[in-house]
Each structure stands twice: as structure tokens, then as C-alpha cells.
Amino acid sequence: MTDQAPAPYAGPQRVLSGVQPTGDLHLGNYLGALVKFVRLQHEVPTFIFVADLHAITEWQDPARLKDQVREITAAFLAVGLDPKLATIFPQSAVPEHAELAWVLNCVARIGWLDRMTQFKDKAGKHKERASVGLYAYPVLQAADILLYKATHVPVGEDQRQHLELTRDIAQKFNHDFAAPGFFPLPDALTQGPGARVMSLRDGSVKMSKSDPSDNSRINLTDDADAILQKVRKARTDAEVLPEKLEDLAGRAEAQNLVGIYAALSGQTAQQVLHEFAGQGFGAFKPKLADLAVAVMGPIGAEMRRLLADPAEIDRILADGAGRARAIAAPTMAEVRKIVGFWAG
């Protein structure tokens, strides 16, 4: 054995990301993930899917699941994903995701999964009662990414650890099966002021679908009134906004609201401070609320319009599934051959 560096991946660049159909999307999903999808679709072939296989790692009502997939798809379209540019599909329509996940389950090590913090957060105190699927969830995520040989994965900061794991799995597969450069080692695209949007009620926890307080988040489907109320009630402190970014240190809620303003207006947090330095939240919050209504209001309205015609959504998903399978099936055929399976 020599110690040479493994062959680099030489295939095309591809962007891929997924969102679970487990509840209403919120401002964190929008800024951390969706806006990046929209930008990237113009630059690189982009695959965006609704992760219904991931969703059932926790109980989902079978009678609701298809509608939940349609709702996420409507959100994708409403924020500006163009089904002619991006391939949009339901994960369960491409069975190769589950098939590759099995192979990768045999590559990933239990010690690697034991370190995943999202499992610890989601399983809570009674982890022996969580599904095996919830535990193996990050391996399925690696399969999603590697099935398309995706090179770039736009996600929020909370997904960084899963992307590190995906790189480890890809590297071990390439090495163990003597297939240098077969899978790329994908990069997480987590940059940007919206990479970690925090709860409006508590600046120390992330904005999340699963937070019991609806006031903690702005949903994509909230109307102008709801947005205004939530921003008005957002937790803050009594100080004015400083001139310099460093002086926001230790003020988690203030930092979060300035970050949201920056992300929504396409500015840096420093530029926002230049504009508002010396002003308190009594002045800043109405400006933030107006901006949030201007950006988010039309998205909710467009989602409602799209959901009134589910047949069109289903058509887009069926078309996307066909295009996704055209990439996924050859990769899986190669994997079967590499592993030595019967069916090629």
C-alpha cells in the first residue's frame, strides 16, 4: 500500500438538498436553505427533493403525508424554484435512495452515528424508544447526496455535522471498495447571514418547526397581521443598537433580529447597524416587520394559489421524479457492480 492521496472526484458539479414534509416552513428554512436553492438553480444543475423517507423516522399520518409533500413543493415554487431549471421530486418516488442507504449503512460505523447531535436532540431522554430509522437518518441523508454525486449541498448550519458524516462515508466507500474518486466529497454551503436563524422568543435556540410556541417563528404561510404581531412580541433587550458589530456580542436576541433584517434586505449585519445605530427596538421592530411582510407576504399568497391546483403540483413532481431517476439509476447500477451484488 502506498500513502498517495486518493484520486479526486472528476465528475460534473451538482447541487442537491432536501426538506422534510413535517410541518410549516418558517423564516429559518427560507433564509438557511430555500433562498440558496433559488440562487444556485441558475448556476449549477440543481436537485431539490421533499424528504418523505426522512419524515417517517417519526410518526406521520399516512392520510396527510402526500398533502404535506405538496405543501413543501408549493413553498419551493412560491419562493422561486423553477421546475424547468431545478429537478424537484419526492424522495419516495426514487427507490434507489433507500437501496443506497442500505449499502451505506454497512459502510458507516456505529461510533460515527453515536456522535450525531441531532439524534440526541430529537430522541430526547428516551432514546431506546426512538425508531432505528431516526438513528440511521444521517446515513439516508448521505445516500440522498451521493446517489446524485452531488458536489454542493445548501443547508442551514444545523446540518453541518451530517455533511461531515457524508464526506466520511464517501471516503470510506471509495477506499474500501477500491473505487477512487467514485463518490465526490460534497461541500456544505452554509454561508450567509441566514445560516442560523434563532427563535423570536429565545435567542439561544434555533427557530424550528417543532418549537411548541408559534410565536417563536415566522411561517411562510403567515399573513401580514401575524408577522407584525410576532415581530412586535419578539424578545429583545432595552439597549439601543450599537455602531459596531462587535458591540452586539452577548445580545443574542438583538443579534438575531439584526441578522434577519440583513438577510431579508440583502445587506451585511454591519450595514444594518450603520443605518440603525443609536435607535432602540421601538424604532427598529416596525421597520423589520415591514420588511418581513414585504418579502414573506407574497410567498404565502403564492403558496395558497398553487395549492388550489394540486394536479399541477403532482405533474411537476412526477416529471422531476423521472429526471431524478435518470441520474439515480445509473449510479445505483454502478454501486451494485462495485459491491459485487448479483443484479447489475
CB of 313 to ligand TRP, least distance (A): 20
Of all residues in this chain, which one has the CB nearest to ligand TRP in the complex? 18
Site for ligand ADP in 158-177 (CB under 6 A): 158-159
Tell which one of 15, 77, 100, 155 touches ligand TRP (CB under 6 A): 155
CB neighbours of 172 closer than 8 A, spacing ≥ 6? 107, 108
Q: CB under 6 A: which stretch of 11-19, 56-64, 78-86, 204-212 binds ligand TRP?
A: 11-19
Which residue in the list 36, 149, 206, 230 is annotated as catalytic? 206
Which among ligand TRP, ligand ADP, none contacts residue 97 (Cβ within 5 to 8 A by kind)? Answer: none
CB of 295 to ligand ADP, least distance (A): 15
Distance of alpha carbon 108 from the chain centroid = 22
State which amino acid sits at residue 23.
Answer: G
C-alpha grid cell for residue 78? 412560491
CB neighbours of 152 closer than 8 A, spacing ≥ 6? 13, 14, 15, 16, 40, 44, 186, 187, 189
When asked if residue 36 is in the footprint of ligand ADP (CB under 6 A), the reply is: no
Q: Which stretches of the chain are assigned E, i.e. beta strand?
A: 15-19, 46-50, 86-90, 152-154, 187-189
CA pseudo-torsion sign 150, 154, 155, 161:
positive
Nearest Cα to 197, choosing from 212, 219, 225, 223?
A: 219
Which among ligand TRP, ligand ADP, none contacts residue 29 (Cβ within 5 to 8 A by kind)? Answer: ligand ADP
Site for ligand ADP in 207-236 (CB under 6 A): 207-210
Of all residues in this chain, which one has the CB nearest to ligand ADP in the complex? 32
Which residue in the list 122, 172, 285, 287 is annotated as catalytic? 122
Which residue in the list 172, 209, 285, 287 is annotated as catalytic? 209
Site string for ligand ADP, 9-28 (x = CB under 6 A): ----------xx-------x
When asked if residue 48 is in the footprint of ligand ADP (CB under 6 A), the reply is: no
Nearest Cα to 35, choosing from 191, 143, 210?
A: 191
Q: Of 154 and 184, which CB lies nearer to ligand ADP in the complex structure? A: 154
Residue pair 35/79 in contact (Cβ under 8 Å)? The answer is yes
When asked if residue 103 is in the footprint of ligand ADP (CB under 6 A), the reply is: no
Q: What is the DSSP letter of 208?
A: -
Site string for ligand TRP, 16-55 (x = CB under 6 A): xxx-x------------------------------x--x-
The phi, psi pair for 87, rounded to 5°, reads -90, 115
State which amino acid sits at residue 133.
Answer: G
Tell which one of 53, 139, 155, 263 touches ligand ADP (CB under 6 A): 155
CB of 342 to ligand ADP, least distance (A): 36
122 given a catalytic annotation: yes
Q: CB under 6 A: which stretch of 83-91, 171-179, 191-199, 307-315 binds ligand ADP?
A: 191-199
Q: What b-and-e string marks burial along 10-40, b requiring 16 or more CB atoms within 10 Å of the CB?
A: eeeebbbbbbbbbbbbbbbbbbbbbbbbbeb
CA pseudo-torsion sign 292, 296, 301, 304:
negative
CA pseudo-torsion sign 123, 127, 128, 132:
positive
| Site of interaction with ligand ADP (CB under 6 A) | 19-20, 28-29, 32-33, 155-156, 158-159, 194-197, 206-210
**Residues forming the active site:** 122, 206, 209
Residues in touch with ligand TRP (CB under 6 A): 16-18, 20, 51, 54, 141, 144-145, 153, 155, 159, 162
